[in-house]
Structure 1
């Protein structure tokens, strides 16, 4: 790219110099010859003053000095040289001037101007002034050489400026290319930096915006896979255990309770899939909107799902509600998913009695999930993806916080010892 920019710039400057220097050289040549003719004419006119009426009688004439390297002579009407320097006989230019008009032109290798000498309104002689054409051409060539030197200097300056400008243009473009190559190689953290050139800065911003959106899409795709595997694992495990329990029942036993429980598990599994899909959609209000229902129903379903697993681990589950919270409605599926994650977390990593407390908090609903264990990680580190101190994946709490924020709420650590998580949701009274 640099060489191309330099070539274009130099070609443009070269065309401009040719278009300027060519006519200037022609005009300079003509100007030198016109100036020389004018100087010869002035010299000849000055010499005519020295030629008086006595010239026809044969008196001597004292002429002024001729042009350097030139000749100056006076001819009578018979074209004989009477004074000064020049050919013994007058040439064509001299004869033309004898007709009464100034003659300008060339005669052999000389540039000649012949001026008639007039006395009493008649021509009595001719003054001829000449210089070698070679001397004029020497000055023309010197001027052309100077013009050529200036042109070459301008061209060299243009090359230097073009190289500098090419570097100024190519360095940001090369940086953009390197950034694009890094992104194509998988480094989605690479970002283009501004360079001060408006068009390239706009291109860099567009590229960065594209990478940001691509990163978000890839993160959503990756998070969807991990969220789905994490969220579906518990629901599928419960469904499988229920079906295995029904399979182990004796022949003739009433399977309807087991079927109802399996259907409830399947319904919960369907809600889990929908919630994970909703979380992976773009962040718009319409996409995030979920059906609302009474909080007490959500809590009852969560208690029915987790009472058995906690009891099997030798632990109790207590549900405590403050007066006035029974009529609050919340995003049902989202709240159920968050409670599932928190209760699964306390089953895997906590100990002792698990207490779910519902209370009103300045017009919102606060749900505390606590056990008798202690958090080994900090209040923020515990929500980082992949952050875990046990055998878990470190995904659940991160998903729970994302679900809470998607519903317009907030999930935080209220206490590290005993371990207490608080889910704050914008609830409305039904």
Structure 2
């Protein structure tokens, strides 16, 4: 590309120089020749006038009387012819067969011829041509340097843009934010930067989805594998049916987890909030997590009024509750309490344990991704907060010591009936 730009620029300059210098040289040549002819003619007229004055005054006319009237610097040769008198010559006859010559005749028959050698004329023409050639050469050199600079100036941005496109193709979507002062190239750079930002957002969303899916699917798959192991180890048909029914329920919840993750990754603004029975979600999660808590020598307590209806997505609330119970199991200690209460127009679902609590240096940052005080992934609570906010709820840390996490949901009006847990009572599992 650089070579093409240089060659095209030089071709244009050469054409312009040729079109300019050729007519200029011709005009200047004619001007020099015309000037030389005018000078010779002017001197011939001058000699005719002198001779005429001497004839009128009766003064002698000879070479001695006319000496000094011709231009010595121009080395001109003059011939004066008078009627009835010898021819008078002044100066040396110029060399060459084609001198610059002018002849003038006076009223008394006198005739004056002035000649000048073409040497000075040719020298002036040659100097003019050399000057034009020098100017043309300097113009071509300047144009070549300008063409090289301009070619590099245009080629460098294209090289940068090619590198940017190559980086995008290799998975490095960082925008370069470079501009080059050329409208068209700047527009291409802006489009590439915008594409880089979109690709970066897409890659971030894909990585986030992969991390969230890995984290959120781990617990349901573990619980499902435990149910399948119990089915494989028992010969009791009733137990097999019971465990199979529970496993099918876990598969449905697992499907809901996947669907929820995909929905959130595609459109986090879409809400699927609707009334649901909070006790059903708590009961289901208590059944799933009780075996793991018992193996750890810990107890699960359920507290709060029964029959609460909350606004939200039961699958998302189940995932949030599972994340909070898992967080207490992994990082907490002692009994785990799931508590429900009503606060104004909200239903509050709290999870508390008897552990050391959240470190003071973490505080509210515990919900940030990759933030963890116990070398965990730092994803669980972040995903839980995203799930809560997707349907209009919010997840907060009410207390660091003892650790109390609270999920705030909108409250729905009950349609009657309860799930059988008296208000204010507590149960242990």
Determine if the TM-score, normalized by the shorter chain, exceeds 0.5.
Answer: yes
Structure 1 range deviating more: 270-279 or 302-311: 302-311
* Correspondence list, 1:90-105, <5 A: none
Larger RCO (CA within 8 A; separation ≥ 6): 2
**Structure-2 separation of matches of 1:158 and 1:364:** 78
The change in CA–CA distance for 1:175 and 1:243 in structure 2 (over 3 A counts) is same
Rounded Cα–Cα distance in structure 2 between residues aligned with 1:242 and 1:327: 30
C-alpha distance in structure 1 between counterparts of 2:366 and 2:326, whole Å: 15
Mapped contact 1:292–1:331 kept (Cα < 8 A): yes
Does the 8 Å CA contact 2:367/2:381 hold for their aligned counterparts? yes
> Structure 1, residues 269-327: CA drift from partner, whole Å, max 9, x if none?
1101101222332x464xx343533262544443443344334433333445589x934
Contact kept in structure 2, 1:110 and 1:131, CA below 8 Å = yes
Q: 1:227: Cα distance to partner? A: 2.5
- Residue 358 of structure 2 aligns to a residue whose secondary structure is coil
- Aligned partners of 2:224 and 2:251 also within 8 Å: yes
Q: Would the alpha carbon gap of residues 129 and 59 (structure 1) be closer, same or farther in structure 2, given more than 3 Å must change?
A: same
Aligned to 2:99, which of 110, 120, 135?
110
Distance in 1 (CA, whole Å) between partners of 2:277 and 2:39 is 113
Name the counterpart of 2:140: 155
Structure 1 range deviating more: 345-354 or 241-250: 241-250
Q: CA deviation at 1:151?
A: 2.7
Partner of 2:49: 49
**Pairs within 5 Å for 1:305-324:** 305-320=288-303
Report 1:136-151 matches (<5 A). 136-151=121-136
Aligned-pair distance for 1:54? 7.9
Corresponding residue number in structure 1 for 2:275: 293
What is the Cα deviation at residue 411 of structure 1?
4.0
Paired with 1:364 and 1:4, the residues of 2 have a C-alpha distance of 73
Trace 1:228-247 onto structure 2 (pairs within 5 A): 228-247=213-232
- The 3-state SS of whatever aligns with 1:51 is helix
Instruction: State the secondary structure of the residue aligned to 1:253.
Output: helix
Instruction: Say whether residues 1:340 and 2:322 are aligned partners.
Output: yes
* C-alpha distance in 2 between matches for 1:284 and 1:348: 29
Q: CA–CA distance in 1 between the matches of 2:100 and 2:341?
A: 117
Q: What SS class does the counterpart of residue 52 from structure 1 fall into?
A: helix
Give the 5 Å matches for 1:214-233.
214-233=199-218
CA contact (8 A) 1:175 1:192 kept: no
RMSD (Å), alpha carbons: 3.8
Instruction: Name the counterpart of 1:266.
Output: 251
**1:343/1:369 contact within 8 Å kept:** yes
SS at match of 1:50: helix
1:246 is displaced (CA, Å) by 3.9
- 8 Å contact from structure 1 (residues 290, 333) kept in 2: no
Number of residue pairs matched by the alignment: 403
Q: Report what 1:22 is aligned to.
A: 22
Structure 2 residue 208 is the aligned partner of structure 1 residue 203: no
Aligned pair in 2 of structure 1 residues 199, 411: CA closer, same or farther (>3 Å)? farther
- Aligned to 1:263, what secondary structure does the other structure show? helix
Equivalent in the alignment of 1:93: none
Deviation (angstroms), 1:409: 5.0
CA distance in 2 between partners of 1:169 and 1:365 (Å):
65
* Equivalent in the alignment of 1:193: 178
